[in-house]
Amino acid sequence: MHQKKIIVLGAGRVGSAIAVDLSKEFDVTVTDINQEVLNKQGDESSVKAIRVDLSTAGAIREIVKDFDLVIGSVPGYMGYNTVKNVIQSGKNMVDISFFPQNPFDLDELAKKAGITVVIDCGVAPGMGNIILGYHNRKMQINRFECLVGGLPVVREWPYEYKAVFSPVDVIEEYIRPARYVENSIIVVREALSDPELVYFEGLGTLESWNSDGLRTLIKTMKIPNMKEKTLRYPGTIEYLRVLRETGFFSSETVDISGKEIRPVDLTARLLFKKWKLNPGEEDFTVMRITIEGEENGKPKTCIYDLYDRYDQQTNTLSMAKTTGYTCAAVAKLLLDGKFHRTGICPPEYVGEDEDNFQFILNYQKERGVHYKVSERI
């Protein structure tokens, strides 16, 4: 039988984790413009690596043409055009680029082509959407809250933060206005607003703030109260607001000795060194999802707690696991013909099917990513 072929666009920490995981069952190729990143694929997996500049439509269409499924793991600013080009190539796709544009602008294009594209398929957005999609079929939900963050185990001055994703994508989280739903009305607040301290057993107290993580849920879910907040070590908000208000995150060019530069590009370059996880440095992912409502006419609250640590055996970052294995599980569902809705499909659509929902939970559990589920009736 023909072994199905997958191509992963983007060989960063998460893209590589997805590629290695899926290579146990499928023929996997990973591609990136950075040869150094590709060299890190190592010999421990059967993943093939090809250097390609993915910034052009022609390159994407040429590279994906012989594959059964495409996985998008490029930086957010490249995500929308990458997805569009893959659709035009006639290939199904699972994407984790979290691009800022409206994904549903590509829905008609995908449906006309008979293509399935599962977007935002990480941990949050991603797994949080899958969980909500599942419960939304069974419950009348009144409130959804997702608290989520990825942090270094060792708190190191000045930032007490390390990034798995592109620094520009992280900065986007600090400047993009946050949308949430309150009493069925969409509320827009600035990012980093409404700080709260939240206690997690065995971990301690973290700081949460409004971030724009609901994304597609605002359109797809008719739930009166929905909110997503980012978690960091306490004290983070103040220095991020200082940097933001000073203009370090601005995309508007400034003249420096006759050269036009965007402050955000300089900031990202400087922060990359400070935020980079060095070999052996460990991280963790923490997420708490609370869903309140009624089931069979009775009040019910479901809480999903995730506390995941760096995998010392495989040297895999927690954020790469929790993001990547969600994506890999959904990729397998597509390749096995278990999910075939056409068009732009946010993860909540995948979670609606109970078998698929349980498969995704079990897939991650087998790889050491455990969601602790508790209910209050």
The model's pLDDT over 50-109, given as tens digits with 9 standing for 90+, comes to 898 988 888 999 999 999 999 999 999 999 999 999 999 999 999 999 999 999 999 999
Interval 237-251 mean pLDDT: 95
* Type of residue found at 309: R
How far apart are the C-alpha atoms of 116 and 339, rounded to whole Å? 9
| Contact by Cβ (8 Å): 128, 146 | yes
74: left (phi over 0), alpha (psi -120 to 50) or beta: beta
Q: What is the pLDDT of residue 115?
A: 97
pLDDT category at 202 given cuts 50, 70, 90 is: confident
- Please check the confidence at residue 44 and state whether its pLDDT lies above 60: no
Amino acid identity for residue 42 in this structure: G
pLDDT, tens only, 92-112? 999 999 999 999 999 999 999
pTM of structure:
0.94
∠ CA 190-193-199, nearest 5°, is 150
Name the strand (E) or helix (H) holding 276: none
- Ordered structural domains, the chain, with CATH: 5-124+317-376 (3.40.50.720), 127-309 (3.30.360.10)
Distances (CA, A) of 16 to 38, 140, 191, 307, 324: 9, 39, 30, 22, 9
Residue pointed to by tokens 């010392």? 312
Contacts for 51 with CB less than 8 Å, ≥ 6 apart: 31, 32, 33, 34, 35, 38
Tell me the Cα Rg of the chain.
Answer: 20
Burial class (CB in 10 A: 0-12, 13-18, 19+), 316: buried
Token output for 73: 């793991």
Q: According to the model, what pLDDT value does residue 83 have?
A: 97
Share of residues in the chain with pLDDT > 70 (%)? 98
Token readout for 33 is: 């413009």
**Widest pairwise Cα distance in the chain:** 68
pLDDT per residue as tens digits for the range 154-200 = 999 999 999 877 778 889 889 999 999 999 999 999 999 999 999 99
pLDDT score recorded for residue 42: 58
pLDDT of residue 163: 82
Map tokens 């060019």 to a residue.
Answer: 253
CA terminus-to-terminus distance, the chain? 49
Whole-angstrom Cα distance, residue 163 to residue 302?
Answer: 30
Going from the C-alpha of 136 to that of each of 77, 123, 133, 293, the distances in angstroms are 31, 18, 5, 10
For the cut 80, the answer to whether the pLDDT of residue 124 exceeds it is yes
Residues 250 and 312: their CA atoms lie apart, in Å, by: 38
CA 69 to CA 60: how far, in whole Å? 13
For 183-201, give the DSSP string. Answer: TTEEEEE-TT-S-EEEEET
Q: Counting Cβ atoms within 10 Å, is residue 195 exposed (0-12), middle (13-18) or buried (19+)? A: middle
Return d(Cα 126, Cα 118) in angstroms, integer: 10
Which of helix, strand or coil describes residue 135? helix
pLDDT given for residue 66 in this prediction? 93
The whole-number average pLDDT for the span 104-133 is 97
